[in-house]
Amino acid sequence: MNSGVQNKMNTKTTIPFGPQHPVLPEPLNLKLVLEDEKIVEAIPAIGYVHRGLEKLAEVKDFHQNVFLVERICGICSAQHAMAYCQGIETLMNIEIPDRAKYLRVIFAELHRIHSHLLWLGLFADAFGFESLFMQCWRDREKVMDIMEATTGARVVISINAVGGVKRDVSSEHLAEIVTICDTVNEDMKKMEGAFLNDYTVRHRTEGVGYLTKDQAYSLGAVGPMARACGVAQDLRTKGYAAYGKLGFQPAVEQTGDCWGRTSVRIKEVYESCRLIKTAIATLPAGDIAVPVKGNPNGETIERVEQPRGEVLYYIKGNGTKNLDRLRVRTPTFANIPTLLVMLPGSQLADVPVLLLTIDPCISCTER
Amino acid sequence: MIANINEISIDRLLGETQKLAGQGYRFVTTSCTDLGDGKLDVLYHFDKDAELQNLRIKADRGDEVPSISKIYLCAVLIENEMSELFGLKVAGMAIDYGGHMLLAPEALKTPQAKITIEQRGAK
């Protein structure tokens, strides 16, 4: 081979992946440096949907901010509001009724199920398994239907308020939620085989996007990203809201690849169904909220486990109805740095599947 | 109301961060607040076994704060964000987005910083 041809073959190529790409529901850009089909360097770039919501929170009062934080991300809206309300309640020394704590858990876990089913569907679509995509989203519709029946909305359900929850759930609707959990549980058992055991699907997921346990931990990975690498961190083990009374155990895998992340999310769907059914079976009677008097003062940190992992709220009140500072660190913000390690060494054709396994939520990330 | 806050000077930041990394802490994020008198309050949050440890520094707006991204690479995003939104000078970031990680070139500079009406009028 002459030297000219040799030099051309060794040339590095830089290509942009995104911000608009069929696999991305939201805009994210990756600058990929390639040698042939192999990635040698990757730089993620965001900044397409920054809305300045943290600044807006300083001019809304602390009750209005519940509506604001729900709109940081639709898919995790219940958990955003839950984290914010828990933080304000800590600042104001408010103890909410037990029934409200259980209802918060029920809606948070319904959100986790619909988020994971959304992701599983998108993931199936990314590797071209469209019937599996439709099966996932068919079950997700059932979850969204019951959220609409109980709260009036399918995604941004606005159930949380400072001091408790806004609406109670009737016994008929609770029975319907149990039926839906049983259906989702049974359907997931059928779909699990396709996601985890199918020969062609395993070729797309096994060994792809590998991350060691130490890398995941030192890069600050959270949620299913960390748990798929054997890092058993899940804030629900801290027992906030009613989790301490429901016997929660985190789902963990050791493989550290795309297969492991899929497996963790499937296990979490089963666990969410179990948590909801246990919460409904032991749901205490009583009030769903307490009156809120005064304004928040002081600073606090609140953390909650969202479908994508840990969300952190830093809240600083000044004794007035407005906050001095509301800071939100979302799970995708924590998981993006893992791309700096996972992408180099991967094949270009694996990027869509690999990128999806961090379950990127860019509106969350940029706020 | 926040437990485990260690208030330190800027020159001790790298040493204390290195110490926490050696003890097996995971970097979570930072929370920056403009105190309104030309000072910025920065809390660095670290986690181990679901318990937080926090380092607090107070910086004047013109101060240069060292980047911890050589110890925790994942700090690079939040350091760029603090630099863009608050005008905090962070020296030695592993990846420097040049002030445009979140903000477009034509956007208002340091939008999260507190600014007086007089200062806004002068811009």
Nearest-by-Cβ selection for B103 from A50, A310, A329: A50
Query: Across the interface, do A52 and B45 touch by the CB < 8 Å criterion?
Result: no
Please indicate whether, in this complex, the C-beta atoms of B1 and A47 are within 8 angstroms of each other: no
Q: Do B111 and A55 touch (CB under 8 A)?
A: yes
> By three-state DSSP, how is residue A297 classified?
strand
Q: Which of A285, A314, A19 is nearest to B1 (CA)?
A: A314
Helix A77-91 to helix A98-126 angle, to the nearest 10 degrees? 150
Alpha-carbon distance of A314 to B82, in angstroms, equals 15
Q: How confident is the model at residue B109 (pLDDT cuts 50, 70, 90)?
A: confident
SS3 B6: strand
pLDDT at B115: 73
Interface membership of B31 toward A (CB under 8 Å): yes
Please indicate whether, in this complex, the C-beta atoms of B101 and A314 are within 8 angstroms of each other. Answer: no
Q: Which residue has 């493989």 as its token pair?
A: A255
Beta carbons of A99 and A283 less than 8 angstroms apart: yes
Residue A352 · residue A123 · CB < 8 Å: no
Which of A43, A52, A301 is the closest to B111 by Cβ?
A52
Closest chain A residue to the Cα of B54, Cα to Cα: A301
Collapsing DSSP to helix, strand or coil, B113 comes out as coil
Round to whole Å and give the CA distance between A70 and A315: 16
SS3 of B20, please? helix
Is there a contact between A237 and B50 if contact means CB atoms under 8 Å apart?
yes
B18 touches chain A (CB under 8 A): no
Cα atoms in the 13 Å half-sphere on the side-chain side of B120: 8
Write out chain A residues lying below 8 Å of B76, CB-based: 337
The alpha carbon of residue B56 is apart from the nearest alpha carbon of chain A, in Å, by 13
Any chain A CB within 8 A of the CB of B108? no
Check if the beta carbon of residue A275 is closer than 8 Å to that of residue A110: no
Residues of A in contact with B97 (CB under 8 A): 45
Reference A277, options A163, A122, A109, A135; nearest CA is: A109
Determine, for residues A312 and B28 on separate chains, whether the beta-carbon distance falls below 8 Å.
Answer: yes
Q: What is the DSSP letter of A347?
A: B
- Tell me the mean pLDDT in the region B62-91: 92
Per-residue pLDDT, B123: 57
Cross-strand pairs, B33? B41
Report DSSP state, residue B108: P
Query: Using a CB-CB distance cutoff of 8 angstroms, which residues of chain A are in contact with residue B50?
Result: 233, 235, 237-238
Query: Nearest CA to CA, how far is B11 from chain A (Å)?
Result: 23
Confidence (pTM): 0.91
pLDDT of B94 strictly over 70: yes
In the predicted model, residues of chain A with pLDDT beneath 70 are: 1-10
Instruction: Dump pLDDT digits (tens) for A141-156.
Output: 999 999 999 999 898 9
Q: Which residue has the tokens 């219940």?
A: A78
ipTM, two decimals, is: 0.91
Predicted confidence at residue A2, as pLDDT, reads 57
Stretch B28-57: mean pLDDT: 93
d(CA A360, CA B117) in angstroms, rounded, equals: 39
Q: What angle do CA A201, A207, A209 make, to 5 degrees?
A: 100
Question: For position A8, what pLDDT does the model report?
Answer: 57
Q: What is the 3-state secondary structure (H, E, C) of B73-98?
A: HHHHHHHHHHHHHHCCEEECCCCCCC
Q: What was the pLDDT predicted at A245?
A: 93
A316 to chain B: nearest residue by CA? B33
Spatial distance between the Cα atoms of A324 and A305, rounded to a whole number of angstroms: 25
In whole angstroms, give the CA distance from residue A67 to residue A288. Answer: 19
Choose among B33, B52, B101: nearest Cβ to A324: B33
The one-letter amino acid at A116? H
Position A36 scores a pLDDT of: 86
Binary contact (B2, A300; C-beta < 8 A): yes
Q: How much is the pLDDT for B38? A: 84
Smallest CA-to-CA distance from A346 within A20, A126, A43, A41 is with A41
Return the pLDDT at A3. 54
> How much is the pLDDT for A327?
94
Burial of A175 (0-12, 13-18, 19+ CB in 10 A): exposed
Q: Which of B2, B26, B95 sits opposite A217 (nearest CB)?
A: B26
